Amino acid sequence: MISIAENLEETSRQAAHKAADLRRVPRYFVSAMLAGAFIGVGEVLLLVAVSPFVAEHSAATRMLEGAVFPVALTLVMFAGAQLFTSNVMIMLVGALSGRTGIKDLAGSWVLSLAGNLAGTLAFGAMVRASGVTATPSARAMLAELVAGKNALAGGQLFWRAVLCNMLVCLAVWMFSRATGDGAKTLVLWLPVAVFVAVGFEHCVANMALYALALFDGVAGGAGLLRNLAYTVPGNIVGGGLLVGATYWFTGGARRVRPAGGGRPAAGDGTAATVAQTPERAGIR
């Protein structure tokens, strides 16, 4: 396991790598679409595998939901894709460290969020055409999940989103610190299992859920927009401030001050390092 200081440096390098990738907008957007689709895989698995237990009113339902959904973040991290909720932490650490700027942060957040939404909608359409979620139990569970989210007050959605992305970004943070694939998988699985089992709110997972519900006719776009209005800011606070900014502060990181006093361009001072360690600078 690498140290916190080393992980702050690594996260800053990832931010610079992402900022450089922003120059290729179509590629960045498609990578974000992949992340949305990968999160959708977790939602479909949850509906297909767990809905029979929901129909039987099993007491183990929440634990089963937590056990299966983490496949989504595992796909994102090992396959590589631009996920908004992890970009929140990574790009804020990069900005605080002086490796990237506010423009890079905003560009990454906006483009990854838009791409994630497009990916969930495209994946939802394909799932609908496949018919795998057309069983009575899966449709009933889908309708129940959406109705439950629609019933939550705005403050509840916000704070559940804060707590959710605190856990997700802790998973990503620990993934970067771990050195073996087995350890990386475990530290991804556990925090995500907690957020799903408890019922916290992940904006991209909600995009995937509502996309499936939209194509199934049990939800409308207004419900999704209302949900995102609270969960996106909450995810930013949870992942950006509670994890990224907190570890940047407690880890004793120093801002990079480029010669001449200006902000470094994306990748300045890091390009050689990124090129030498492509496996650690992968898209996340």
pLDDT at 280 over 90: no
pLDDT at 209 over 70: yes
pLDDT digits (tens, 9 = 90+) for 136-183: 999 999 999 999 999 999 999 999 999 999 999 999 999 999 999 999
pLDDT digits (tens, 9 = 90+) for 41-88: 999 999 999 999 999 888 889 999 999 999 999 999 999 999 999 999
At position 197, the amino acid (one-letter code) is A
The secondary structure of residue 178, as a DSSP letter, is: -
Nearest to 123 by CA among 212, 220, 206: 212
Residue-wise DSSP of 148-170? HHHHS-HHHHHHHHHHHHHHHHH
d(CA 99, CA 160): 31
pLDDT at 245 over 70: yes
Mean pLDDT calculated for residue range 30-40: 97
CA distances from 79 to 2, 171, 279 (A): 22, 16, 11
For 3-7, 115-119, 153-157, 251-255, which range has the lowest pLDDT when averaged over its residues? Answer: 251-255
Residues 6+ apart with CB under 8 A from 49: 64, 68
Q: CA angle 280-201-143, nearest 5°?
A: 125
Q: What pLDDT is attached to residue 256?
A: 62
d(CA 274, CA 17): 7
- Claim: this prediction has a pTM higher than 0.85: yes
d(CA 214, CA 43): 14
Q: Which domains does the chain have, with CATH numbers?
A: 4-247 (1.20.1080.10)
d(CA 110, CA 28): 11
Whose tokens are 């001072």? That residue is 269
pLDDT at 211 over 50: yes
Task: Check the CA dihedral 125-127-132-135 and report its sign.
Answer: negative
* Mean pLDDT (the chain, rounded): 89
Calculated CA dihedral for residues 197, 203, 209, 210, nearest 10 degrees = 140
For 66-80, 128-142, 198-212, 252-266, which range has the lowest pLDDT when averaged over its residues? Answer: 252-266
Look at the chain and count its residues: 284
Q: How confident is the model at residue 225 (pLDDT cuts 50, 70, 90)?
A: very high
Q: What pLDDT is attached to residue 254?
A: 67
